[in-house]
Amino acid sequence: MKKLLLILPLASCAPLLSTVQGTAATLTTDGTSVLFANPGPQAAEDVSVVLYGPVTVTGVTCIPFSRSWICPINDVPAGKGFRLQYTGTLNNASASFYTASSGNRPLYVQLK
């Protein structure tokens, strides 16, 4: 239980962490889509979006895992975005990725 208590505060700080880590990437919803936006200044590399809840993702190869879907969407250049279409009820979403300046430390954004 102690491990869970240590992880939960970090998960709630994900938007702050992405700002501190030097990225302005966002994850938002638009109807039945989740939008990963990368305004830059660097490319978001090896982007992976996780959708939580009883949803089905269409148009992208995703991996079902427990009550979520893990969707690798590769790289998103600066100034670009990526849209994931889904059906069902989305409870939450998060994304992890790397930038040239983050090295081997992943950056995280949480659904706003």
| Percent of all residues in the chain with a pLDDT value above 90, rounded to a whole number | 65
Residue 93: phi, psi to the nearest 5? -155, 155
Give me 19's structure tokens.
């700002």
Q: Tokens representing 90? A: 């989305």
Reported pTM: 0.77
Contacts of 70 (CB under 8 A, 6+ apart): 48, 49, 50, 62, 63
- The residue with greater pLDDT, 5 or 35, is 35
The CA–CA distances, whole Å, from 60 to 18, 52, 86, 108 equal 25, 16, 10, 21
* pLDDT tens per residue, range 68-111: 999 999 899 999 999 999 999 999 999 999 999 998 999 999 99
